[in-house]
Amino acid sequence: MLALYSYPTLFGVADNNGYGLKVYAFLKLAGVPFRHEHIFDASKAPRGQLPYIVDGGDTVGDSGTILDYVTKKYGVRLDAALTPAQYTTSLLITRMLDDLYWVMSYSRWKDERYWQAFRDALMREHPSLTEEGLAKAKEFNAQRYYYQGIGRFDPDAAMARGLADLSALADLIPARGYVHGDRPTSIDAGIYGFIANIHFYDIDTPLKQFVTAHDNIVRHCRAIHEAVSKPA
């Protein structure tokens, strides 16, 4: 059986990282059987990053590459009815979510207004973690943010960038149904991966405040959450 390796849970979602939760939701929506292994150590992962999957003799990393692999190998048809224009829209949203990722991560590990609450939540839900270990992770992430660029923003400017991404999503998510119609497609899984990690996040960041204030985003998130939380 295919195995998904990704970060552990937090605040009731299956993975506290948007990319891992995206893959989890995709597999659930596609009906592909898998087992979910929660880990913190990414040293065995391709490129040293989570999530990754192991499927027989194949090990595949990067969430987008995983979705492509599973779609081809298991004949997944979530996106089979999309038009070329809809594929393009999905790609543009996917790239925007890559930008939102950095702001979400910054809000957890670098923004001192929220760091301690995030640290305490991790330690509460995962007692094996230590303050020393998380402090090292915080320092490592600060380096990542600096070289990526978001780490050179002050906290309010970083949040403004994420709020602009969320504003675009608010214009794209319909009041009913999903991004491309009555049934979810892979982009709905991708959006859920990130929005669930804001909506269910029990720390009142500007990102969470924005999501909470937009009924269409909340409805979409909860609809996918209900669909992927059902037992197989």
Distances (CA, A) of 55 to 1, 63, 146: 7, 14, 35
- pLDDT (tens digit per residue) in 62-77: 999 999 999 999 999 9
- 26 vs 52: CA distance, rounded Å: 13
Distances (CA, A) of 215 to 71, 190, 199: 31, 19, 11
Kindly state the tokens that stand for 143. 């380096």
Q: Which fold has domain 2-74?
A: Glutaredoxin (3.40.30)
- pLDDT (tens digit per residue) in 165-200: 999 999 999 999 999 999 999 999 999 999 999 999
Nearest C-alpha neighbor of 232 from the set 38, 29, 90: 29
- pLDDT (tens digit per residue) in 50-103: 999 999 999 999 999 999 999 999 999 999 999 999 999 999 999 999 999 999
Sequence letter at residue 184 = P
Kindly state the tokens that stand for 210. 């924005």
